[in-house]
């Protein structure tokens, strides 16, 4: 029976991971409001090597439409501004001493619809990952039955459990998509 418990843990872990990855991808989709995750992918040329922006200053959100970066080393201000401008985010930083303010422009309706499509695509990729995990789990349970380690009744019971994990994961993905679409379309 330990064989099925390992399969069950693996299936549940991999499905949870697919949902977690989806939520991480969603955190990078900007919805016209400032959030610190927006700057996560930006690296700054500092002291001869590229470092994440968060390692050269403190990132904050003073209001819903502005991100601030308090740069620790005054000599890094130009490099931080350049890194933000060269990112694909379309942001224009303004420096005030060691503080850099980054206004987050509101999204156009067209851009909101594009982001909603991207969110749907991410959700579909997550569902495909979950279905692949289900298939692997079902195949492993069939193999246990074929090898005589479990009965046909146990096989059906275990397949039902795996299907329930799948349904739960797909429900979480759908809920995350609905929440992200609402977030994107909110003006």
Domains belonging to the chain, first-starting first, are 2-28+108-185 (1.10.132.20), 36-103 (3.30.1360.40)
Q: Are strands 49-52 and 57-63 parallel, antiparallel or unpaired?
A: unpaired
For 114-120, the CB contacts below 8 A with 24+ separation are: 115/29, 115/30, 115/31, 115/184, 116/181, 116/184, 116/185, 118/29, 119/26, 119/29, 119/177, 119/180, 119/181, 119/184, 120/177, 120/181
Q: What is the pTM of this model?
A: 0.66
**Two tokens, residue 115:** 């982001």
Instruction: Give kind and range of the element (H or E) at residue 16.
Output: helix 2-27
Q: Please give the chain's pLDDT, 187 residues, in tens.
A: 468 889 999 999 999 999 999 988 887 676 667 777 777 778 888 888 888 888 888 888 888 888 899 988 888 888 888 888 887 667 788 888 889 898 887 778 887 888 888 889 999 999 999 999 999 999 999 999 999 899 999 999 999 999 999 999 999 999 999 998 888 887 6
């Amino acid at each position: 029976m330990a064989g099925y418990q390992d399969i069950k843990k693996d299936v549940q872990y991999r499905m949870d991971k697919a949902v977690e990855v989806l939520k991480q991808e969603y955190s990078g989709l900007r919805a016209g409001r400032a959030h610190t995750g927006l700057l996560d992918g930006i690296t700054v040329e500092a002291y001869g090597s590229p470092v994440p922006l968060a390692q050269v200053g403190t990132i904050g959100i003073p209001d819903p439409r502005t991100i601030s970066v308090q740069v620790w080393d005054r000599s890094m201000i130009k490099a931080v501004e350049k890194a933000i401008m060269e990112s694909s985010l379309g942001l224009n930083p303004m420096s005030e001493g060691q503080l850099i303010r980054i206004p987050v422009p509101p999204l156009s309706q067209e851009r909101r619809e594009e982001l909603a499509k991207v969110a749907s695509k991410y959700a579909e990729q997550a569902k495909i990952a979950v279905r692949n995990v289900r298939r692997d789990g079902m195949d492993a349970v069939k193999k246990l039955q074929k090898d005589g380690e479990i009965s046909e009744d146990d096989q059906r019971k275990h397949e039902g459990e795996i299907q329930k994990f799948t349904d739960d994961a797909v429900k979480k993905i759908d809920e995350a998509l609905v929440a992200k679409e609402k977030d994107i379309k909110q003006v």
